Amino acid sequence: MSEKTMFSTIDECLNQFSNDRRLMLETVRGTIRQAAPDCEERMSWQMPTFWQGKNLIHFAAAKKHLGIFPGAEAVEAFSPYLSSYNHFKGTIQIPYTMEMPLELISALTRYRVALVSGKPEEAKIILADYAETASRQPKQEA
């Protein structure tokens, strides 16, 4: 029986992947950091986690998709814009065959920052801004 590697930092976690996959994961990480510049990086549940008083968002590389975990409230709020992806409760699965939706990841992160900061009106504005942006983009197909 093999032991599962436990990672203590996001860098350790991302270094296990091939160059292409690691580059994509670093791009997602950078997008989250840009959207939440005051957040702290942690490993939680063996996933890269971004924390700002509470967990903001996690991500994890699976075999065929990237899992984004912004929480149930964010997934529910953004659900009209998630039809291209499998999503449920607090999870969004983005197939590697699709372009990584960095604007969506940024909006989800900023939405979570607003919520954990006690600014629900700002969260509504972020959602409305993303809705406007999404309405101008072609729908992605897997």
Q: Is the pTM of this model over 0.95?
A: no
Q: How confident is the model at residue 44 (pLDDT cuts 50, 70, 90)?
A: confident
Residue written as token pair 């990584």: 100
Average pLDDT in the 33-61 region? 91
SS (H, E, C) the chain: CCCCCCCCCHHHHHCCCCHHHHHHHHHHHHHHHHHCCCCEEEEECCEEEEECCCEEEEEEECCCEEEEECCHHHHHHHHHHCCCCEEECCEEEEECCCCCCHHHHHHHHHHHHHHHCCCHHHHHHHHHHHHHHHHCCCCCCC
Q: Which domains does the chain have, with CATH numbers?
A: 10-135 (3.90.1150.200)
Q: How confident is the model at residue 21 (pLDDT cuts 50, 70, 90)?
A: confident
**pLDDT by residue (tens digit) across 70-104?**
999 999 999 999 999 999 999 999 999 999 999 99
Average pLDDT in the 12-30 region? 86
